[in-house]
Amino acid sequence: MKSESIKLFDNKNLNISLNSTLLNKIVIRSIEEIDIMGLNTKQEKKPSNANKFYLDILHKIHWNNSYPTSSSISKKAKFLIVGFFNGFINFWSMIDGLYLGKIQLSRNPIISISSCENEELVVVGTWDGYIFVYSILQGKIIYNRKIENKPIRKIHFLNSLDLISYLTDDSKIYFLSLKTNKKLLLYESNLKITAYDIRLNEGLIFLGFINGLIEIFNFNRNVVEDKFFKSRYKILNLSVSNDCKYLLSVDEGHSNSLGLYNLDCLKPICFSDTFGTCLDAKFVNFSDIIISVINSSSNLKVLSKKESLISKVVIVNNKDTLDLLKKEFFEVNDQISTAFITNDTKTICFGTKTGFINIFSLDNNKLINSELIEINVPVKKIFIANGISKSIFINKNGKVYVYNEIYFKNLHILDIKINDSSLFISENNIYWTNNNKKLYTLNFSVENSIIQSFDIDFIPQRIILFKDFFYLSTYDGQIFIFDSVSKKLVDCFHSEIENGKFAVNEKFNIICYYDNKNLKLYDRLGKLLKEIKFNFSKVSLLTFSSDGVHFAFANDDEICLYDLVSSEKLKTFAGHYDKVAYIKFRENSNILLSIGFDKIVNFWKF
C-alpha cells in the first residue's frame, strides 16, 4: 500500500495509511463558534465579472422504483454511483452510460457516497448512521458498521484505503480508521455545515454552510485561513482540484449556482447554472468538471463543462441534436413555474414560483418588462391575446390578473378561484368549471363584465372551446359536447382514455384527446377519425403546425414530432436540461420552438 503522510503542527510527518492508530496523536483543539456578525467580511463573491460557461449532457439516468437521494462520480470518471431511498446503490458506466448493476446495502436511504482514488472501493453513508464499504472488484461488502445514531450527511475516501472522513447531521466532521474502527473529531461548528472537502497533505478543510458561507480551515494550525459568502443560498457541494488551486462550489440557488474560484485570490473565474438540485459536483482528471443533477424531469442528468476532455470522449453526435438551429439562455433569477410563447413567436413570458412575470423579446433576448403580481404565490398559467392586446395571468390561488398589452397597464383582478385543469382561455373569454356542476364564462376584454354560467349534470376534468362547441371531459374518459350559444347538450361519447387532455387541429377541424399511450382524433361532432398509439411516460402540451400535417408534444424533457397522415414519429428533439414547459410551431415555417423549465428556448428545424 502506498504510504501517505499528513503534516501536523509540529512539522513532523506521520504515516497514516500504514498505521491509522497514529491518528490518536492528532491533538483536537477547541473550535470556536463561528460569529457571523464578527466576520472580517469580504464581499459576497458575485460572479458578475466572471465568464459564464455551459454544460453538455453526458448521460440521462432513468429509474423505475425508488428515488435518488445521493450520487457520486468516481474520481477518475469511470463510474457513476447513485444511492436510492430504498437503500440500493446502482452503478453506471461513465464512458457509454450502460447500466452495470445494483446492490442493496440497507433498508434506509443512502445519503452520501464516495469512491477511493483507484475507483476499486465505494464508501456509503446511510440515514441511520451506518457506513458501508463495497468492493467493486470483489463484488461484496467488506465493511459494515453502525458508526453514529444520526445521518451520515457527507463522506469522503481520503488518500489511503484505510482512512475516511464523514460529516454528521450535527455539523461534526470525523476521521475514521476502517482498520481499527477508531474515530477522531476533526472539526465541529454551531453553524450548520452542509458540504465539505478535505486536503490531507495541505492540512485544509473547505467548508460550506447553510447560509452560503464558505470557510477554509487549517486543522494543523487550528486557524481559519479565509472565509467568504458565495451567495445567500445553502452550499450543496464543494470540490477542490488536486493541485489545490481551484474550488468548485454549488449552492441551491436558481441562477449561477455553480461557481469556479481561484483559491489564490478567492475570485470567481466562471459560473454556470445547474438546472436543478446538484447531488454531486467534482473535479475529475485534474481539470474537468462533472456534476450530477436531479430536477422536475424523471431522470438524473450527468453534465460536464462544454468542450472539456471528458465531453469530447463521451459525447457521441446525435442526429436529432443536429436539428437544433439556436439555443437561447434567459436570465431569470427565480425558479419558473410556467411559460408562454406568443402566436407571432416574437415574445416569450416566464412566470415564477415567487409570483413574478418576466417578458422577453426573442429577437434580441432583452427583458421587455417584469412585474410582481402576488408575492410568493406561483404563476400557474399565462395567456397573451395578440388580437386584443390583453395579457392574462392566473396564479396558484386562482386569481386572474388582466393587463392591457405586455406593458402591464390598466390592471384589473378577478378573484374567481379558478382550477387550472378545468380552464380554457380564448381570445376574448375565460371558461372554467368548479365542483358545483356549472360552466362559467367571462369576457375579459371588457372591464367589469358579468360572469355567466349554465348548469351541467357532471363534474368535468378538462374543458375546451372550438367552433362554438364546448367539449368537456370527465376523469373516466367521457366527453360531452355542448352548443356554446344555446347551452344545450349536443352529444356525448366515451373516449376510453382516463385523465386525458384536449388539443385542436384548427386547419382540419379536428378535436384531439390524448394521454401517455393514445391519441384519438374526432370530428366536431365526436366521430372517431383516427387513433395513434405510442408509449411514453409524461405526454403533454400537444400542438399542431399551422398547415395541420405535423404535431408535436412534450415527453418530459424531450419533444416528439409526428406526421399526422402516416402516424409515424419523425424526430425526437433532446436539448433541454429540465422538463419542457411550452412548445409552439412558428407560423408558415418548418421551425418549432420549445421552452424548458431550465429557462432555455430551443429553435428546432424539421
Q: What confidence tens digit (pLDDT) does each residue in 336-384 have? A: 999 999 988 999 999 999 999 999 999 999 999 999 999 999 999 999 8
Average pLDDT, integer, range 578-583: 96
Q: How many CA atoms lie within 13 A of 298 on its CB side?
A: 13
Confidence band for 497, pLDDT divided at 50, 70 and 90: very high
Least confident piece of the model among 145-154, 196-205, 295-304, 314-323: 314-323
Which amino acid, one-letter code, is at 220?
A: N
pLDDT of 526 reads 95
Three-state SS at 226? strand
132 exposure class (CB count in 10 Å sphere: 0-12, 13-18, 19+)? buried
pLDDT for 38 beyond 50: no
Residue for cell digits 407571432?
344
Cα–Cα dist 579/481, whole Å: 33
Average pLDDT, integer, range 543-549: 96
CA 176 to chain CA mean position, Å: 34
| Residue 261: its H or E element | strand 258-262
The domain ranges of the chain are: 47-314
pLDDT of 308 reads 79
Largest CA distance in the chain: 94
Report the percentage of the chain scoring pLDDT > 90.
62
Q: What is the pTM of this model?
A: 0.84
Neighbours of 588 (CB within 10 A): 9
Backbone phi and psi for residue 442, each to the nearest 5 degrees, phi listed first:
-145, 130
135-148 pLDDT, tens per residue?
998 999 999 999 99
Q: Are 245 and 239 in contact (CB under 8 A)?
A: no
Neighbours of 306 (CB within 10 A): 12
| Residue 340: its H or E element | strand 336-341
pLDDT of 262 reads 93
Class of domain 47-314: mainly beta
Q: Are strands 324-329 and 600-605 parallel, antiparallel or unpaired?
A: antiparallel
